[in-house]
Amino acid sequence: MSLARHGAPSDTVYSMITDELDLDGRPNLNLASFVNTYLDPNARSLLTSNLAKNLADNDEYPALLSFSTRCVSILANLWNASPSQTAVGSPTVGSSEAIHLAGLSLKRRWQARMKSQGKNIHDPGPNIIMGSNAQVALLKFARYFEVEARVLPVSEKSNFCLDPEAVRENVDENTIGVFVILGSTYTGHYEPVERVCEVLDEVEREKGWGVDVHVDAASGGFVAPFAYAGAGQKWNFELPRVKSINVSGHKYGLVTPGIGWIVWRDEKYLPEELIFELHYLGGTEKSYTLNFSRPGAQVVVQYYNLIHLGFGGYREIMENCLANARVLSRALEQTGWYKCVSDIHRPVNNNNNNNISNVAGKIKSAVEGAINEGQEEKETSAGYTPGLPVVSFRFADEFKREFPHIKQEDVSLLLRARQWIIPNYALPPSENHTEILRVVIRESMSFDLLDRLVTDIIQVTEQLIDHDEVDLSIIRKQSRQRHPNRKKDREEKQQGKDQKKESVKEKVEDGAKRLERGIHRSVC
Amino acid sequence: MVHLSTIAHEDDVVNGKLADGISKAHLQLINDDDSFTTSIYGSKFAAKDLPKHEMPETEMSRDVAYRLIKDHLSLDGNPILNLASFVTTYMEEEAEKLMTESFPKNFIDYEEYPQSADIQNRCVSMIGRLFNAPIGVEDDVGAVGTSCVGSSEAIMLAVLAMKRCWKNKRIAEGKPWDRPNIVMSAAVQVCWEKAARYFEVEEKLVYCTEERYVIDPEETVNLVDENTIGICAILGTTYTGEYEDVKAVNDLLTKKGLNTPIHVDAASGGFVAPFVMPDLEWDFRLEHVVSINVSGHKYGLVYPGVGWVVWRSAEYLPQELVFNINYLGADQASFTLNFSKGASQVIGQYYQLIRLGKHGYRAIMSNLTRTANYLSDSLAALGFIIMSKKSGEGLPLVAFRLPPQEDRSYDEFALAHHLRVRGWVVPAYTMAPNTENLKMLRVVVREDFTRNRCDSLIVDIRQSQHLLEQMDRESIKKQQEYINKYNTSSGKATHNHPKFRREKHSLQGKTGKTHAIC
């Protein structure tokens, strides 16, 4: 495809492109993604009118810059940055950029420490610890910045999250830090930040290695502070070991794609040699980003959301999302066909892992209950296991015994025909015999829509029960015929020929367990 | 004539006294919470400061929030008078509409938005062909490319790829691979310094001289050693817009039998040179050029947020840097530093490419070249020294400085400040190191800079100059300080952290070079 010799009138091109874009899915029915898709008309209007503004051009757009400073400040406060320290932060394009920046500062601090102790920084070289449920950006950081990724296996016992005891076993003096994820993308569980910090404290006492923590709160950073359930533990700058936190503004920050945030608890954790200064018309700008010129409109909308919704508004929305997620979880479990792997609908008492937070949770709910007295009794998330508004579910064991020929993938496929996008994928490597279906409840998932979803899931499952194996194999075959198109994808061209043959072979053998080969599932 | 006056009643005398009068005035200011408001400016929010540090406890109605934010944003500059930036500030209404409709689309979500992904592939293909990329029949030959947030990301990716290719080669040869370096001009954009710093590659700089503002091919090639991961050549430096001689570097490499890859940073020039100077060989026609980046949001004519990087073939993009992501059964390979991002800009780019076609781009770039020529000639007539190239031999920008004159009491920065007061943002820079602190002014000619506006600028430059000539050194200094402090945003800025000011590790910190905004 080459650039046309002559152009075409703007309205013609507009219609052509719009028509073509109709083939894209409907953002609202995409339950696979955390990325926000709804904007109120005013937010949309702000976004449009600031479309041409370049966030990097601070001299030209000072108001834009002041909004970004305010957002950073608001987030730092929201995450309990200590007033005695000077928190610094920056807007990013998304959490990926934020994670690269956080990781790089961890690496530089480690290098400086090792150099000051006269130790070798190349052999054996730095490493970083994360759970195998980590999002691809975390692994990318390790690969691109040449840090060994110590990806620790997760288990059912650790809620498919980072296991603090495994951290203890894997940490050494070359560990630049630990990535802890607030809100695993697989099951929505919060990783035990507080416990990990305790373990690292013990390690420091015993061996003298001070290992810092970066909290990847891409999704949870805008959920945990607002939900009555909190995070069930300390997770933010309250913990001295947490040196930086990132969040995606375009997830539960309720902005459209293209905005993330990173905050360091104090300026001293941001090594000076990473900052570049730009002189411009007599003033100076310092910059620590991987991107330079980039749109600034998302920052405006983030600020709009923060002041328009306020703490109360965000709380209402997050509570609604969590309540809807509980409704869906209960509905699914009540069918007897499904079992939820996520825990947000389970009262906190039944959960072994969160004993510490029980008391706090109870007190909190009692207090909140008293405040809400007189108003209509409304159930909050306070009594439930904290987590992201995510429902991960799988076939119940009895169901599997009874209908061994039904594959979970079929549910995903048939729902796709009804416009719902609900991905089915294997849990992280050590647990990848379990496949889960995952629904992300976003702001725009109303109760009414949820009702339709539950009906559709039940109908689809009934349909599967009614059909025998032969019919089902036809469905699968049809879905596979979609794949030839995908082979054209740009990325496959990038892979060597051999690699390609291999991947085709894999596809036939088993569609699910490819994570070991560096294929990452679950998009966020 | 007498004034008829009433005799005051006793009550009035008592109550009307001024001392008591204060208590009599019943102030009836509303202090209620607004359940609804007369107008936004009658609401309690208009009387309060916008929240700056802490999230407000309660909500604010959305029209109030909208209006207050919009009002605050009106303090931003007028993009049309900003002649400092290459970044696009004008797009057609239809393009804006398309982009607005695509806000909620997450670009990386290929399964959900397959058309958006497809549109990216088409853009990569068109841009690759524009740069004469080799087109393969089979899958593993032929150019590959991707969209980015901007040229910075593109450059980081390119550096990463070059570094990894070099490392793999060194490992295969059994040689050490811990001291990589990269050869580039001292006039590079800051992101090159960043890329080198962040990925731990040593910078080998080719310095400019007072007469030469681009790299010297000979000197460049001489800097190459076995640890060189690649050479960066700039198609249109941000200072003077001059194209670096990529062909000469390429030919020298061939002559010396070296196999060092060249990356062309065509952030600005990539959408200009192919249309205005189609015969200039700078792209994949040269055998050593392995990758090229271009900013869609500069002369690609899209709003900020899109850049492109194209590699000659997949072999220059090491497998281990590409992450495969499986999402709903669709395998996708990703080589980006950012992940989720908006799809609007890519769609906007596609719109511009098919809307304008080669003919449209050529027409726009030709007009820009004409305007730049006109401005150059006019400024030369005013006595300035023109440092940029004319007639398409460089980017459509005009870099100029004052003629050397001992007794002049003002410099380029003073002139820039005066223009600033008149609304024009014309930046003054200190050139790259080793050019004896050469100062210069730069006007970027963008799509929306018409001949008419160009005339107003010339008039204002002349008037500012007149004014400055009538002032003595002392008052100029005072006035400059005043303008700097109160009339520029950066002068007023409070966001710059003192700890990170005056760093000494970058070219700027070391040599006083100022980075041109791009």
The sheet with strand A390-395 has its strands ordered as A338-340, A390-395, A435-440, A424-426
A223-237, A257-271, B35-49, B166-180, range with the lowest pLDDT: B35-49
Residue B5: is its pLDDT beyond 70?
no
Mean of pLDDT over chain B: 81
Distance CA B324, CA B327 (A): 10
Q: What percentage of chain B carries pLDDT values higher than 90?
A: 15
**Is the Cβ–Cβ distance between A267 and A88 less than 8 Å?**
yes
Q: How far apart are CA B48 and CA A434, in angstroms?
A: 55
Indicate the pTM of the whole model: 0.79
For the sheet with B385-386, list strands across it.
Answer: B385-386, B397-401, B439-444, B428-430
The pLDDT score that the predictor gives to residue A99 is: 93
Q: Summarize the confidence of residues A255-284 as an average pLDDT.
A: 78
Q: Is the pLDDT of residue B35 over 80?
A: no
Judged by CB atoms closer than 8 Å, whether chains meet at A293 and B105 is answered as no
* A376 neighbors A217 (Cβ within 8 angstroms): no
Cβ of B152 and A59 within 8 Å?
Answer: no
- Contact predicate B103/B344, CB 8 Å: yes
pLDDT for position B26 = 62
d(CA B513, CA B504): 12
Q: What average pLDDT does the segment B160-183 reach?
A: 90
Q: In a mutagenesis test of the B interface, which of A75, A140, A247, A277 is the best target, namely the one with the most B β-carbons within 10 Å?
A: A277
Å between A294 CA and nearest CA of chain B = 4
Highest averaged pLDDT of the listed ranges A429-443, B358-372, B387-401? B358-372
pLDDT at A485: 41
Q: CA B514 to CA B412: how far, in whole Å?
A: 14
Query: What pLDDT sits at residue A413?
Result: 86
CB contact under 8 Å between B343 and A257, yes or no, is yes
| pLDDT score of A494 more than 80 | no
Note the pLDDT of residue B324.
67
Q: What is the mean pLDDT of residues A491-501?
A: 41
A407 falls in which pLDDT band (50, 70, 90)? confident
pLDDT level of residue B511 (50, 70, 90 thresholds): low
Beta bridge partners of A279: A284
The predicted-structure confidence for B214-240, as pLDDT tens digits, reads as follows 888 888 888 888 889 999 999 988 888
Q: How far apart are CA A332 and CA B352, in angstroms?
A: 48
Question: Each residue of B443-454: pLDDT tens digit?
Answer: 999 888 888 888
Query: Is B447 buried (19+), middle (13-18) or exposed (0-12) by CB count in 10 A?
Result: middle
Residue among B76, B124, B324 minimizing CB distance to A53: B76
Q: Report CB contact under 8 Å: B152, A11.
A: no
Q: Distance between CA atoms of A301 and A254, rounded to whole angstroms?
A: 9
State residue A351's pLDDT score: 45
Please determine whether the domains at A46-302 and A321-519 fall in the same fold group of CATH: no
Q: Around Cβ A41, how many Cβ atoms within 10 Å?
A: 10
Identity of the residue numbered A402: E
Question: Any idea which architecture A46-302 has in CATH?
Answer: 3-Layer(aba) Sandwich (3.40)
Interchain proximity A17–B351, CB inside 8 Å: yes
Residues 315-344 of A with CB under 8 A from B: none
Q: Average pLDDT, whole number, for chain A? A: 81
How far apart are alpha carbons A433 and B141 in whole angstroms? 37
**For residue A200, pLDDT beyond 80:** yes
pLDDT in tens, A432-472: 788 889 999 998 888 888 989 999 999 999 888 887 766 66
Whole-number Å distance between alpha carbons of A233 and A359: 11
Give the CA distances from residue B179 to residues B226, B374, B375, in Å, rounded to whole numbers and listed in that order.
10, 48, 46
Cβ contact, residue pair A46, B353, below 8 Å? no
Contact A495 B322 (CB under 8 A): yes
Q: How confident is the model at residue A321 (pLDDT cuts 50, 70, 90)?
A: very high
pLDDT of residue A356: 45
Mean pLDDT is lowest, of A48-57, A62-71, A166-175, B480-489, for B480-489
> Could you say which of A74, A146, A275 has the minimum Cβ distance to residue B54?
A74
Report pLDDT for B1: 46
Beta strands B428-430; B439-444: pairing state: antiparallel
| A516 band by pLDDT with thresholds 50, 70 and 90 | very low
Q: Quick check: B126 and A57 CB within 8 A?
A: no
Q: Which of B84, B103, B490 sits opposite A47 (nearest CB)?
A: B103
Residue B199: pLDDT over 80:
yes
Report the pLDDT value the prediction gives residue B316, as an integer from 0 to 100. Answer: 85
- The structural domains of chain A, with segments of one domain joined by +, span 46-302, 321-519
| Residue among A125, A99, A370 at smallest CA distance from A247 | A99
A389 prior amide bond cis, ω within 30: no
Smallest CA–CA distance from B94 into chain A, residue: A14
Domain range A321-519, CATH architecture: Alpha-Beta Complex (3.90)
The reported pLDDT for the residue numbered A506 is 38
Question: Which residues of chain B lie closer than 8 angstroms to A312, CB-CB?
Answer: 57-59
Is the confidence at residue B504, as pLDDT, over 80? no
* pLDDT computed for residue A79 by the predictor: 92
Å between B463 CA and nearest CA of chain A: 20
Q: Tell me the residues of chain A between 133 and 152 that have a Cβ less than 8 Å away from chain B.
A: 136-137, 139-140, 143-146
Pairing of strands A175-181, A127-131: parallel
Q: Tell me the three state secondary structure of residue A390.
A: strand
